[in-house]
Amino acid sequence: MRLRRTVQAIVATCATLVASAGLITVGTASAEAATPLPTRIFAPYFEAWTGESPAALAAQSGAKNLTMAFLQTATKGSCTPLWNGDTSMPVAQSTFGADIATIRANGGDVIPSFGGYTADNTGTELADSCTDVNQIAAAFEKVITTYDISRIDLDIEDNSLTNSGGIDRRNKAIKLVQDWAAANGRSVQFSYTLPTTTSGLADNGLNVLRNAIANNARIDVVNQMTFDYYDNASHNMATDTQTATTGLYNQLAQLYPNKTSAQLWGSIGIIEMLGIDDFGPAETFTVANATTVYNWALSKGVNTLSFWALQRDNGGCVGTAGADNCSGISQGTWDFTHIFAPYTSGTTTPVNDFSVSTTPAAGTVAAGS
């Protein structure tokens, strides 16, 4: 099955910028406790290479929480993660720090995501690129302490799904970071984002989780990308989301037999691709599908709802598959975001679905109407 993501990262081409300087040493970073994420959260992906402000788009769309895509190395062999693999966008307060502060001031938070299709296809995913487990862990810790975040997402697809060395290094690094966090009173979650079939994860995705278990690395959330099936079949994308997620639930029940049903559902995430995905019109996720998925996920207690990507939540390119900046279907701007936004636990303000006029200034209404 061909799995593809339209992630065109800005990758630096200067081969001399391979140095891994500036990484912290494991165990030496400050570890003030970040605020944990809600137990139920909507966090769509933000395409960090566009030059747009994540805080501005969060405010415009109503998506309080964002998954920030992507962190990767500039070149294969490096141990230094950069936003989009761009040497001008280091892990530092100068890159997105002010935006993240604004997002938090507005009641939201961010989830930095490592990897993505481009990194996974070019050897610039951190654990594929870097062969030193301690430096991988140090890079994770630097992101955690620089932005004071409480969850890291790891988007593993394409070649990274079969890179056994990278898989093992990544999970060993997760364990090191979790031990560091526990020793310093910090709560840090790790999520894996993996491709799926319509009936659950393929074996290569399961192998990532099996290796995590073997390394005693706790995976708090398993997000599945319920799109890009590439099976040449027609799809009802809402129905496929339900069958894929139920399949994942059954797989996790086998991997983690001591977890309760509520704990299993609470460790699952769903990631849709708005409108027409990379495969084409046969795989089209509609606004009506979004409502179905929202209600179903809520009934099951799924942890995370997300989609690729916030910049695609508009109808500016009807008929176009897999675009970065529009969904390819006829829709209003932010239609999908407005449906999913109330999913975050603690949300009390629903999306407006009616208006009130001051004209006429007086009137009567029957009781109960």
What secondary structure letter does DSSP report for 69?
Answer: E
Nearest to 308 by CA among 98, 157, 139: 157
Gap between the terminal Cα atoms of the chain: 54
pLDDT tens digits, one per residue of 229-260: 999 999 999 999 999 999 999 999 999 999 99
pLDDT tens digits, one per residue of 64-100: 999 999 999 999 999 999 999 999 999 999 999 999 9
Q: Is residue 85 part of a domain?
A: yes
* Whether residue 41 has pLDDT greater than 80: yes
* Whether residue 352 has pLDDT greater than 60: no
Q: What is the pTM of this model?
A: 0.87
Q: Is residue 248 part of a domain?
A: yes
pLDDT of residue 21: 35
Q: Is residue 62 part of a domain?
A: yes
Band (pLDDT 50/70/90 cuts) for residue 34 is: confident
Mean pLDDT over each residue of the chain, to the nearest integer: 89
CB 116 within 8 A of CB 123: no
Band (pLDDT 50/70/90 cuts) for residue 113 is: very high
- Rounded CA-CA distance 10/85 in Å is 6
Band (pLDDT 50/70/90 cuts) for residue 168 is: very high
Q: Which domain holds residue 240?
A: 41-273
CATH at 200: 3.20.20.80
Would you call 236 exposed, middle or buried from its count of C-beta atoms within 10 A (0-12, 13-18, 19+)? middle
Q: Is residue 48 part of a domain?
A: yes
Q: Is residue 82 part of a domain?
A: yes
Q: Is residue 339 part of a domain?
A: no
Q: Is residue 269 part of a domain?
A: yes
pLDDT tens digits, one per residue of 327-339: 999 999 999 999 9
pLDDT tens digits, one per residue of 264-299: 999 999 999 999 999 999 999 999 999 999 999 999
pLDDT of residue 305: 98
Nearest to 80 by CA among 67, 70, 71: 71
Angle between helices 203-214 and 164-183 (to 10 degrees): 40
Band (pLDDT 50/70/90 cuts) for residue 170 is: very high
Q: Is residue 161 part of a domain?
A: yes
Q: How many domains does the chain have?
A: 1
- Rounded CA-CA distance 221/266 in Å is 8
